[in-house]
Amino acid sequence: EGAIARRIITKKAERRIIDYAFQYAKNDNKSKVTGVHKANVLKVTDGLFKEILYELAKDYEGEIEVEDFYVDATAMYLITRPESFEVIVTTNLFGDILSDEGAGLVGGLGMIPSGNIGENGALFEPVHGSAPDIAGQGIANPMAMLLSACMMLNYLKEYEAEESLNDAILKVLNEGKTLTPDLGGNATTAEVAEAIINALN
């Protein structure tokens, strides 16, 4: 008895995601890209990932620093020195795990936006999905959805609108008066949304 899983990594897909990471870093005035892999175990697939990471890094030499870590070490570094990271690029499985770990550092999944960005379009949504376990209770944190809207506005180059919405969210967070239970408050979804709208106005 047993099971075997196949893992497919293509040069085309790796080049796309890694080059996007460098472009994102450059456009957002970041100075470092960290590649995360497990090439010591997954020698062929993650070995290819690491090879392409350093191949593409040459195009940004002098502009963007590049480094790489094993995923297990990265999981520890995210806890012990999260400020050392600027842009992390990795494969889907590791990214899924590390992004949820990162969410734990900033208040949970209710704070995390996400973007699925393709060559011809993009879709933005909260990382937590539909959260059926709390549906209809009025306690879902709307900030992840609104921060996803910020990402969308950035993608659409609506920078002024993005900044206004982001500032309103930060104001409500920093005041700490109107927060949902996941952030230690007792406000409802609607109350938090209303506080952000008021801050926006």
Note whether 5 and 100 are same-domain residues. yes
Q: What is the mean pLDDT of residues 110-129?
A: 91
Same-domain pairing of 126 and 194 = yes
Whose structure tokens read 């892999």?
Answer: 37
pLDDT, position 133: 85
Taking only Cα atoms into account, the Rg of the chain, rounded to an integer number of angstroms, comes to 19
Chain segment 151-195, per-residue pLDDT in tens: 999 999 999 999 999 999 999 999 999 999 999 999 999 999 999
How much is the pLDDT for 169? 98
For residues 14 and 57, state if they share a domain.
yes
Q: Which of these three, 105, 122, 157, is where a domain ends? A: 105
**Long-range pairs for 88-93 at CB < 8 Å and ≥24 separation?**
88/21, 88/33, 88/34, 88/36, 89/17, 89/18, 89/20, 89/21, 89/33, 89/34, 89/35, 89/36, 89/53, 90/35, 90/36, 90/37, 90/49, 91/9, 91/37, 91/45, 91/46, 91/49
- The answer to whether the Cα torsion of 38, 43, 45, 48 is positive or negative is positive
Query: What is the chain's mean pLDDT, rounded?
Result: 95
The per-residue pLDDT for range 11-48, each reduced to its tens digit, is: 999 999 999 999 999 999 999 999 999 999 999 999 99
Do 135 and 197 share a domain, yes or no? yes
d(CA 68, CA 89): 9
pLDDT for res 187: 97
pLDDT of residue 131: 77
Return the pLDDT at 134: 84
3-state secondary structure of 69: strand
Q: 111 and 52 in one domain?
A: no
Average pLDDT over residues 64-84: 97
Residues 92 and 120 in one domain: no
Q: Are residues 63 and 76 in the same domain?
A: yes
Same domain? For 16 and 76 the reply is yes
In Å, how far are 42, 53, 168, 188 from 70, measured between CA atoms? Answer: 11, 14, 37, 40
> Does 130 have pLDDT greater than 80?
no
Residues 76 and 145 in one domain: no
Residues 99 and 114 in one domain: no
Residue 40: is it exposed, middle or buried by C-beta count within 10 angstroms (0-12/13-18/19+)? exposed
Is the alpha carbon torsion for 92, 85, 20, 129 positive or negative?
Answer: positive
Same domain, 119 and 80: no
pLDDT of residue 125: 94
- Are 97 and 2 contained in the same domain? yes
pTM here is 0.88
CATH of the domain at 58: 3.40.50.2300
Residue 129 has pLDDT above 90, yes or no: no
Last residue of a domain, one of 105, 132, 166: 105
Query: Quick one: pLDDT at residue 119?
Result: 85
Query: With bands split at pLDDT 50, 70 and 90, how would you rate the model's confidence at 103?
Result: very high
Decide which of 85, 105, 125 is a domain's last residue: 105
Smallest CA-to-CA distance from 154 within 28, 64, 32, 30 is with 28
pLDDT band for 49, please (50, 70, 90 cuts). very high
The parent domain of residue 169 ranges over 107-201
How many domains, in total, are found in the chain? 2
